[in-house]
Amino acid sequence: MTVITRFAPSPTGKIHIGNLRPALINWLYARAEGGQFMLRIDDTDLERSKEEYVDGIKADLTWLGLTWDFEARQSTRFDKYDAVVENLKAEGRLYPCYETADELDRKRKRQMSRGLPPVYDRAALDMTDEERAELEAEGRKPHWRFKLEDRSVVWTDLVRGEQSIEASSLSDPILIREDGSYLYTLPSVIDDIEFKVSHVIRGEDHVANTGAQIQIFEALGAQAPVFAHHNLLVGKEGEGLSKRLGSLSISSFREDGIEAMAVVSHAASIGSSNPIVPHQTTETIFKEFAFEKLSRSPAKFDVAELELINAKLLHETEFSVVQTRLAELGIEGAEAFWDAVRGNIEKFEDVKLWWKVVNGPIDPVIEDAEFCAKALSVLPEGPYDETSWGTFTKAVKEATGAKGKALFQPLRLSLTGQPHGPELKALLPLIGPDRAAGRLKGEVV
């Protein structure tokens, strides 16, 4: 069996960290199994779906490296859904219901007040043709429910193990709204059948839906795919993320200077037994992927942890990986520079500061002019190499008697204008003797 997984976003907003996880897990499993990954745009909601969000979804996935093998859009497939609907109606598996949302809500409340589960009572099945015609004459339009068979639905979940749901505990799911538009369920099943999706991987909040969907697969004469319901994402204190999702969009991470592989590394590791460490390539991630490693507890997302992973990723990144990006910033042939500063940057854009520190002009910070004058008097002649800083500081120590922080901090402030940063052993050769001398004098160079 060829493994085919799918990511099926609705283009009604931006991808956020919460729905990145199912996209990533589907992609990882497909790649780990040598299978295919499908992008399905679930745009049956024509009013809320926007083309700009379709473009944004594709841009985000491409940035993250989650390439897809083929794609489909539900808005082009209504004729296929309509044909299936007619068959289900003819078979008596899809039936019209006329209750309003308010009437259904009152019915549920009455059931719960009597200690009964708020399951739809199928009252619509007892209506006569005359009663339906009367309601339609009043202007009511039906929504359509799928009639579940009263039996257990059993499947082996790749994350949760053996699962069983009694269909009698579920309401017959609504597949079509009053306005004729489709809810997610039926088009999803039809598409999974046609595109031969082998594994449906999604959040554990869909477990109950799976019981109903398996019966729909069977009603359409198809074998249900393998299901895997992974843990959901919460904040670092266990709180829900729903109110913060706008600030946790993938595009916002990109705009904030977070690296794509930092996002992927973090999202692939949280909520699993794998260590949360940066990965330079997606290949190393999917080689480590296994459903058995996913926790049953919620996965905790912390922006601070993501930023830490981002910094570690940059610290471990070789010059060849960023050479083109540096050149785009006007930093050419700067392997020594990258090696000197990469351990002190949190985001890639930080290199701009250190490139200016190296090349100037900067405002040196002179806290003790006399100290800096003595340092200038023993400044070695160029050219400088990795031994020059040790030679220089030894001479300054002998000239001033300063040591420790009293020795190194005023030198750092005068030479870089910054209170902390990369080792001056690596920076001094890049700054060079002329700029070093000028800065010790307090010159803006």
Report which of 211, 194, 213 is spatially closest to residue 83, judged by C-alpha positions: 194
Residue 359 to residue 426: CA distance in whole angstroms: 14
b or e along 6-23 (b: 16 or more beta carbons within 10 Å of the residue's beta carbon)? bbbbbbebbbbbbbbbbb
- Residue 300 in contact with residue 271, Cβ under 8 Å? yes
Q: Going by C-beta distance under 8 Å and a sequence separation of 6 or more, which residues neighbour residue 182?
A: 44, 78, 81, 175, 176
- Residue 231 in contact with residue 204, Cβ under 8 Å? yes
pTM of the predicted protein model: 0.92
CA dihedral 62, 64, 67, 71 (to 10 degrees): -60
pLDDT of residue 154 exceeding 90, the answer is yes
Mean pLDDT on 35-64: 96
Mean pLDDT on 349-353: 97
Q: Where are the domains of the chain?
A: 90-152+162-176, 319-359, 369-440
Residue 67 to residue 264: CA distance in whole angstroms: 13
pLDDT band for position 242 (cuts 50, 70, 90): low
pLDDT band for position 237 (cuts 50, 70, 90): confident
Tokens 């099926």 belong to 8
Give the type of residue at 22: P
- Give, as one character, the DSSP assignment of residue 7: E
Q: Is 182 helix (H, G, I), strand (E, B) or coil?
A: strand
Helix (H) or strand (E) holding 4: strand 4-7
User: How many Cα neighbours within 13 Å face the side chain of 283?
Assistant: 1
**Beta strands at 161-166 and 152-157: parallel, antiparallel or unpaired:** antiparallel
Instruction: Describe the chain by its helix, strand, coil percentages, rounded to 5.
Output: 50, 15, 35
pLDDT value for 243 = 52
Q: What is the pLDDT of residues 300-330, one digit of tens each?
A: 999 999 999 999 999 999 999 999 999 999 9
Token reading at 219: 């009603």
pLDDT value for 245 = 58
- Residue 124 in contact with residue 98, Cβ under 8 Å? yes
The CATH T-level fold of domain 369-440 is Arc Repressor Mutant, subunit A (1.10.10)
Token reading at 425: 């052993």
- Of the listed ranges 51-55, 88-92, 294-298, the one predicted with least confidence: 294-298
- In this structure, is the dihedral angle defined by the CA atoms of residues 104, 213, 58 and 181, taken in order, positive or negative? negative
Token reading at 131: 């009663």
- Of the listed ranges 40-49, 244-253, 272-281, the one predicted with least confidence: 244-253
Residue 19 to residue 21: CA distance in whole angstroms: 5
Residue 339 to residue 318: CA distance in whole angstroms: 8
What DSSP string runs through 79-142? Answer: HHHHHHHHHHHHTTSEEEE---HHHHHHHHHHHHHTT-------GGGG--HHHHHHHHHTT---
Token reading at 407: 């020795």
Mean pLDDT on 270-287: 93
pLDDT value for 381 = 93
Domain 90-152+162-176 belongs in CATH node 3.40.50.970: no
- Adjacent-strand bridge partners of 176: 144, 182
pLDDT of residue 400 exceeding 90, the answer is yes
